Amino acid sequence: MNRIRDGIPASPGIVIAHAHVLRVEVPTVPHGGMVGAEQADDEVARFEVAVEAVKGQIRRVQEKTREQLGEVEAQIFEPQLLMLEDSDLIGGTIGYIRDNHLSAERAFEWRVLEWEAHWSHTAHPMVIDKLNDLADIQGRVLRRLMNLPEQELDAFDGPERVIVIARDLTPSIAAQLDTTRVVGMATEAGTRTSHRSSLARSLKSPAVVSHGNLSDEVRTGDVIILEGRNGRVILRPTEEEKKTYRELDFQMREWEQEILLLVHLESRTLDGAEIALRANIDLPTEAESAHAHGADGIGLFRTEFLVVGRNSVPTEDEQFDAYRRVLSAFPDRPVVIRTYDLGGDKFPAFLHMPQEENPFLGWRAIRVCLDEPALFRAQLRALLRTAQLGDVRIMLPLINEISEITRTRELIEESIAELATEGTVVGPGYVLGAMIETPAAAIAAAELARHVDFFSIGTNDLVQYTLAVDRGNSRLASLYNPFHPAVVRLLNAATQAGRDAGIEVGVCGEFASNPLGAFLLIGMGVHSLSVGPSALAEIKKVIRSIDQGKARTAVEEALNASSPREVENVLIEHLRHQLDLSRFAGPWNLSRAN
């Protein structure tokens, strides 16, 4: 058995503690399950009471989450509540009770199995989250019907500090864990974007996901090391390994304090190149944290929080208020707001999305917005109103064709005219940009650049579309490599096309928060980098420690490399002369040291 297990990093941090293997199983329904016709009404009533009780349980967990973490985190539970009101799931169960004379337990089990069969043909993260939610409510309803107790989740026996090991953690389970005792989480399933990963980051709890059969190989009470930034778990570590990781944890904490001193210094290279360093945020409340960490503005404000997990369309005023709150934190800095990037793994309940074999290649992003003009127009109107208050820039996701930009401009002009007739004067000087996220957009960047005011390269999607590798598929994690020569060449082509056209070129994907990636991008000549608030100080350290001219030389060599490893080695060799790489987290650190 391999003691060192690598999965997908979900939430950073290093912890050494005893494992607690958590098994929350769906109860087994006893054989049989037939009732007499005269009992059908009683079974239906019993089922409806159980469903209402479970709704109450979930709402209580949701309210606790809202109080502790915030409104958006609480919305994670909306899909479960919607399932418990779904006429197909609940009504179908009632139909089985009446038509087939099944017990409530058996009827609900049958209906859930049919739902699972409908979804289980894919391993897409969106579907996995749905199956996770379905399993959660199935277990709760069945335990209620069978008079079984809920498993106590917040009072583990044994050591004071534990790392929870589980096959999976539903959001309701993760939200109930006692974080004074649960210091880390490792699951066999999941992706970095899954609900439980998001909750772990909100709870500031180190977490790793997608670790295979980990719960079969770890016993409660085993000591393990969990390293959340690189996605590593070490089973039954030696004393030397414990010492190494304790020292690394200390060094990282010390380093974090050191680089925080750079927060308010200029983001400028040694040879004087100014690189705007902005923040990626998901919620308006994160804007203040980004400002405190020294961001030069917002490079990516994701707006999906306004719609995902909701069963109603947000109003224009509600959107305006959210955008205005972010702008208030950066009244004199750029705030780049991305229009709805729906589809893929983000499906609002009110929008009837089609069943697709591969949602990331389907109806998503700008395609959805242009096909749903009422939804898009309300967002554009709110953005235009906000733009009168400061430097607000509108960014369109997944642009492939010029027509997508021109159709959006037509909607914007119509919205400006509408607002004017209503007495809201909006100037014509709005700023519109395109995200470069596909090989098509990168190759056609020169043509696209003539129709927009700026580019923002979304490396997350660009890598997966270029390499045909699902970034949420743990089995293919080793193939998802932004240093692949094809990706590097597309990045360089898009950057050069934007610079030649005289427009700003920024990067807002996760690649920008990798010190090695930042070095490469600066050498290519990008004007701005946008990263998570927690990575701002580290990337500012990189910027202030390097010479852009030398980085450009490294890029020229990297463009001639023939493999991802060769690209990395070229960059590491050049960067090593300017920076102490051992101080940074990254591919040269733990993964190479072991």
Q: What is the maximal distance between C-alpha atoms in the chain?
A: 85
pLDDT band of residue 587 (cuts 50, 70, 90) is: very low
- Average confidence (pLDDT) over 543-558: 95
Interatomic CA distance for residues 407 and 376, integer angstroms:
12
Q: In terms of domains, do 306 and 169 share one?
A: no
Task: Read off the pLDDT of residues 474-500 as tens digits, 9 standing for 90 and up.
Answer: 566 678 899 999 999 999 999 999 999
Whether 320 maps to a domain, the answer reads: yes
pLDDT score of 156 more than 70 = no
Whether 29 maps to a domain, the answer reads: no
- Please tell me which residue in 20, 124, 508, 574 is annotated as part of the active site: 508
Q: In terms of domains, do 232 and 363 share one?
A: no
- Is residue 195 annotated as a catalytic residue, yes or no? yes
- Please tell me which residue in 18, 195, 211, 484 is annotated as part of the active site: 195
The total number of structural domains that make up the chain: 3
Q: What is the CATH number of the domain that holds 62?
A: 1.10.274.10
Q: In terms of domains, do 289 and 415 share one?
A: yes
Q: In terms of domains, do 8 and 70 share one?
A: no
Q: What is the CATH number of the domain that holds 533?
A: 3.20.20.60
Highest average pLDDT, of 35-44, 229-238, 281-290, 541-550, comes from: 541-550
Whether 226 maps to a domain, the answer reads: yes
Whether 25 maps to a domain, the answer reads: no
Secondary structure (H, E, C), 470-523: CCCCHHHHHHCCCCCHHHHHHHHHHHHHHHHCCCEEEECCHHHHCHHHHHHHHH
Look at residue 588 in the predicted model and tell me its pLDDT: 37
Residue with token string 């030696």: 238
Neighbours of 458 (CB within 10 A): 24
Both tokens of 243, joined, read 């010492």
Please say whether the dihedral angle defined by the alpha carbons of residues 103, 105, 106 and 107, taken in this order, is positive or negative.
Answer: positive
Strands 392-396 and 335-338: parallel
Q: In terms of domains, do 113 and 52 share one?
A: yes
The boundaries of the domain holding residue 215 are 4-19+159-198+206-237
pLDDT band of residue 546 (cuts 50, 70, 90) is: very high
Beta bridge partners of 25: none
Q: In terms of domains, do 226 and 138 share one?
A: no
Q: In terms of domains, do 477 and 508 share one?
A: yes
Q: In terms of domains, do 111 and 177 share one?
A: no
Which backbone phi and psi does 367 adopt, to 5 degrees?
-65, -45
Q: In terms of domains, do 215 and 326 share one?
A: no
Is residue 64 within 8 Å of 56, Cβ to Cβ?
Answer: no
Task: Read off the pLDDT of residues 30-42 as tens digits, 9 standing for 90 and up.
Answer: 877 788 888 889 9
List the Cα angle 281/309/475 in 5-degree steps: 70
Mean pLDDT of the chain: 84
Whether 398 maps to a domain, the answer reads: yes
Q: In terms of domains, do 13 and 126 share one?
A: no
Helix, coil or strand: residue 426: coil
Closest CA to 64 of 178, 169, 163, 141: 178
Closest CA to 518 of 501, 502, 537, 503: 537
Whether 32 maps to a domain, the answer reads: no
More confident position, 342 or 333: 333
Q: In terms of domains, do 230 and 273 share one?
A: no
Is residue 371 within 8 Å of 354, Cβ to Cβ?
Answer: no
0.75 exceeded by pTM: no
Residues across the chain? 594
Is residue 440 within 8 Å of 404, Cβ to Cβ?
Answer: no
Closest CA to 143 of 22, 76, 39, 53: 53
Strands 276-281 and 298-302: parallel
pLDDT score of 197 more than 70 = no
Q: In terms of domains, do 417 and 516 share one?
A: yes
Q: What is the CATH number of the domain that holds 222?
A: 3.50.30.10
Both tokens of 543, joined, read 């910027």
Which stretch of 34-38, 556-560, 573-577 has the lowest confidence by average pLDDT?
34-38
Helix, coil or strand: residue 463: helix
Which backbone phi and psi does 559 adopt, to 5 degrees?
-65, -20
Sorted by sequence, the CB contacts under 8 Å of residue 11 that are 6+ apart come out as 185, 197, 200, 201, 203, 204, 205, 206, 207, 228
List the Cα angle 73/277/463 in 5-degree steps: 70
Which backbone phi and psi does 566 adopt, to 5 degrees?
-65, -40
Whether 309 maps to a domain, the answer reads: yes
Whether 85 maps to a domain, the answer reads: yes
Q: What is the DSSP string of 172-208?
A: HHHHHS-TTTEEEEEESS--TTSHHHHHHHHTT--EE
